[in-house]
């Protein structure tokens, strides 16, 4: 198998990766407007996304892999922005109308 080294531009459309500390209480951050850079350093996510892992002693460790921020669209509708690594998904409530 052949490997190719490729230089990756780390400027992902203005998004900034936010490190999540292990002492985060999960109380949430401030919601931003859609299109704003609300993922700036210091803006804690409303929800943390963790992945369970098992260490060599058999204890479960929760590794932080992303977060979910509450946003408000230009129309005033609320939604969440889920970011895991380079993956960004928009999350909407499943309201029956």
- Residue 43 has φ and ψ, to the nearest 5°, of -90, 100
Mean pLDDT of the chain: 73
Q: Residue 9: left (phi > 0), alpha (psi -120 to 50), or beta? A: beta
Query: Which residue shows structure tokens 């895991």?
Result: 84
Calculate what percentage of the chain has a pLDDT beyond 90. Answer: 46
Q: Which has more confidence, 37 or 62? A: 62
Q: Which has more confidence, 94 or 24? A: 94
pLDDT for res 31? 44
* In the chain, domain spans: 32-91
Q: How confident is the model over 42-76, as pLDDT tens digits?
A: 689 999 999 999 999 999 999 999 999 999 999 98
Span between the terminal Cα atoms of the chain, in Å: 53
């Amino acid at each position: 198998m052949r490997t190719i080294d490729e230089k990756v531009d780390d400027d992902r459309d203005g998004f900034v990766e936010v490190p999540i500390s292990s002492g985060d209480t999960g109380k949430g951050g401030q919601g931003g407007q859609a299109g704003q850079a609300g993922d700036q350093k210091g803006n804690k996510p409303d929800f943390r996304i963790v992945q369970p892992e098992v260490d060599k002693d058999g204890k479960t460790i929760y590794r932080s892999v992303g977060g979910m921020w509450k946003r408000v669209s230009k129309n005033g509708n609320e939604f969440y922005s889920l970011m895991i690594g380079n993956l960004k998904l928009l999350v909407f409530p499943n309201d029956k109308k």
